[in-house]
Amino acid sequence: MIFWLAVLGTCYIGLLVYATIDARRRINTSDDYVMAGSDIGLFFGFLTFAATLFSTFTLLGMPDFFRTHGIGSWIFLAVADAGMAFVIVWFGFHLRRKAIAKGFNGVAGLLRDCYNNPWAGYLYLIGIFIFLVPYVAVQVRGIGIFLNAVFPETLPVAGWATAIVIAMLIYSELGGLKAIIYSDALQGTVLFTVTAIIAWGCVENFGGVTAMFEQIREKNSALLSVPGPNGLFTTQFLLASFLVILMVPITQPQLTTRLVILRDMDTMHRMAVAVGLFALLLILLIIPIGMYGAMHYAEAATTDFLARTIIHDQAPIVAAAVAIGLIAAAMSTADSQIFALGTELRSLLRGDEKQIMRITKLAIVCFAVAGLIVAILSGNQLVLLARVSFAGTAMLAPFVLAAILTERTPGVEIIVATAVGLAIFLASVLGVIPESLWGLRIDLGVLLSLSLLTLVSTLLRRQAGSQ
Amino acid sequence: MFLAVSSVTFTPLVIEPNKIEPTLGGLPYTLWTSILIGFGLLGLTYLGTRVHPRERDTTEQQQ
């Protein structure tokens, strides 16, 4: 495996260096650096969106979710992703129209202009900082734990995490968003290919799909229905997760920005369908990997299960490709988020362009360091930590939608309510208040309340304006 | 249509607790029904992009 790791690793680094140099050569303005020239076609648009969306936990967290909680994971992840494709088309249309009308340097700047209030921009930046940094940490820590388990003699978890953050910063700082998009395309291709190869091997091991589910039924039939062996997939959990994932393109700036920088509306439409198909096929491929784990490594710890299933039980060349694919996945998702945080900060700054770019680049380094610190200090519940991140940013959805969908200036009460909602959700995550109240999950309750309040505020203001 | 199809996912029609039968091609009930829903939602999305050409044109003209 070490031989193949050296060969494939050299190829990957070579391609990354080439992509960075090529991207750097094409940078003439700050818009080229931050927005990749706003002229991304279908191929790169689809792969960069998919790679940014599907991260380390595609190959680490999701198989473990199927292994532990069973087939309800399909609803949790795949049905929600298919729904998200629809949201991309709907939201993307309105976003691009608004971006043309107001100009677009980032979502925070656009919100400030739509609300005509600087606090709208600050609130968005604070919200995404609080909830994206843990998600960056998920990527970095996930891959650090995994590589440490597979190569225990090389580096500790913190060492792997630091090495990945440094590599990511080098090509992001040098090549800007275009370098990130090229690395995303590379990662998306590698990730899908290795997942397909492993899934095929798992199905063959069972003797076919029917045999796979028959054997799982004998071993632990609770895996084949909801709510699953641990009772996780209740209707409320699935519904809350569905809504939260639908909101991802609306509230996560690394994805929102990608909707605006696509060449035209038709490219965006085709990209949305391609991303949805990619998601469904990829998660279908993950099912046998999780079932294989449930059959052979049901009692093993997560890292042990993953190290055995996707590395030790594979041919050396596949194992090496998995290791490279995982590193690429962690880097491509985390760098997009860190870069997006920098872009959002930039969209709120005014003044000398060179000075703004210097501040942006410095901020990207600071965000990366913050992500690294959280990665080193956080626990190992990767998927659930990611879900908290998605849920936290989802609280911003009504606030963002009010700005994008309405022609009138939305009210300051939406900004205040969103700030309060974020504080309540954060308090529930930190355990200050319970996760559920009167049988209703806090995240679902806050999201519904903010949606209702935003709707009422928008309607009342429209009515008042027309009188 | 999108709302109707996604809402079905969260009813006992798809997520009835502990229901495995009837299977389809060996797939347990909740899995095959929700796979159909996933691809159904994607199909609706594709149709959505095809039936709104005027919206597309309007935006491109603005660009």
Distance CA A236, CA B58 (A): 40
pLDDT of residue A220: 93
Q: Dihedral of the CA atoms A280, A67, A48, A406 (nearest 10)?
A: 70
Q: With cut-offs at 50, 70 and 90, classify the pLDDT of residue A198.
A: very high
Residue B24, beta-bridge partner list:
B27
CB-neighbour burial class of residue A333 (10 A; exposed 0-12, middle 13-18, buried 19+) = buried
Residue A416 reports pLDDT greater than 90: yes
Interface test with A, best of B14, B15, B52, B56 (most A CBs within 10 A): B15
Identify the helix (H) or strand (E) that includes residue A441: strand A440-441
Q: What is the pLDDT of residues B12-63, one digit of tens each?
A: 999 999 999 999 989 999 999 999 999 999 999 999 988 865 455 444 444 4
Cα of A448 to nearest chain B Cα, Å: 16
Distance CA A251, CA A135 (A): 14
Token code pair at residue A216? 């799982």
**Alpha-carbon torsion A35, A41, A42, A47, what sign?**
negative
Distance CA B52, CA B60 (A): 13
Determine which of A250-259, A288-297, A308-317, A328-337 has the lowest per-residue pLDDT on average: A328-337
Determine which of A42-46, A134-138, A239-243 has the lowest per-residue pLDDT on average: A134-138
pLDDT of residue A414: 96
Token code pair at residue A88? 């991309």
Identify the helix (H) or strand (E) that includes residue A437: strand A436-437
Neighbours of A253 (CB within 10 A): 25
Residue A262, beta-bridge partner list:
A40
Q: With cut-offs at 50, 70 and 90, classify the pLDDT of residue A382.
A: low
Residues A102 and A114 sit within 8 Å (Cβ to Cβ) = yes
- Interface A:B, Cβ pairs < 8 A: 124
Residue A443 reports pLDDT greater than 90: no
- Pairing mode, if any, of strands A440-441 and A436-437? antiparallel
Q: Nearest chain A Cα to B9, which residue?
A: A75
DSSP string, A144-165: HHHHHHHSTTT--HHHHHHHHH
Partner-chain residue, chosen from A71, A89, A272, that has the shortest CB–CB distance to B30: A71
* DSSP-derived 3-state class of residue B24: strand
Backbone phi, then psi, for A40, in 5-degree steps?
A: -90, 130
Q: What is the pLDDT of residues A62-94, one digit of tens each?
A: 899 999 999 999 999 899 999 999 999 999 999
**What residues in A contact B29, CB-CB < 8 Å?**
225
pLDDT of residue B39: 96
CB-neighbour burial class of residue A26 (10 A; exposed 0-12, middle 13-18, buried 19+) = middle
Residues B15, A72: C-beta atoms closer than 8 Å: yes
Cα of A327 to nearest chain B Cα, Å: 29
Cα of B8 to nearest chain A Cα, Å: 11
> Measured in Å, how far apart are chain B's first and last C-alpha atoms?
30
pLDDT of residue A306: 87
Average pLDDT, chain A: 88
CB-neighbour burial class of residue A212 (10 A; exposed 0-12, middle 13-18, buried 19+) = buried
* DSSP-derived 3-state class of residue A95: helix
Distance CA A446, CA A86 (A): 24
Residue A103 reports pLDDT greater than 50: yes
* DSSP-derived 3-state class of residue A186: helix
pLDDT of residue A251: 87
Identify the helix (H) or strand (E) that includes residue A436: strand A436-437
Distance CA A192, CA A47 (A): 11
Please list, in sequence order, all residues whose beta carbon lies within 8 angstroms of the beta carbon of residue A54, skipping any fewer than 6 positions away: A188, A191, A278, A279, A282, A329, A333
Residues 29-58 of B with CB under 8 A from A: 29-31, 34-35, 37-39, 41-42, 44-46, 48-49, 55-56
Residues A26 and A344 sit within 8 Å (Cβ to Cβ) = no
pLDDT of residue A424: 92
**What residues in B contact A89, CB-CB < 8 Å?**
45, 48-49
> Measured in Å, how far apart are chain A's first and last C-alpha atoms?
73
Q: What is the pTM of this model?
A: 0.85
Cα of B19 to nearest chain A Cα, Å: 6
Q: Nearest chain B Cα to A215, which residue?
A: B26
* DSSP-derived 3-state class of residue A226: coil
pLDDT of residue B60: 47
Partner-chain residue, chosen from A75, A97, A273, that has the shortest CB–CB distance to B46: A273
Residues A260 and A250 sit within 8 Å (Cβ to Cβ) = no
Residues A225, B48: C-beta atoms closer than 8 Å: no
Question: Could you report the predicted ipTM of this complex, rounded to two decimals?
Answer: 0.88
Backbone phi, then psi, for A335, in 5-degree steps?
A: -65, -35
Closest listed residue to residue A335, CA positions, set A159, A129, A139, A104: A139
Residue A377 reports pLDDT greater than 90: no
**How large a percentage of chain A has pLDDT more than 90?**
40
Token code pair at residue A158? 């913190």
Partner-chain residue, chosen from A224, A225, A273, that has the shortest CB–CB distance to B45: A273
- With vertex at residue A155, the alpha carbon angle to CA A166 and CA A370, rounded to the nearest 5 degrees, is 40
DSSP conformational letter for B21: P
Highest mean pLDDT of the ranges A370-374, A387-391, A408-412? A408-412
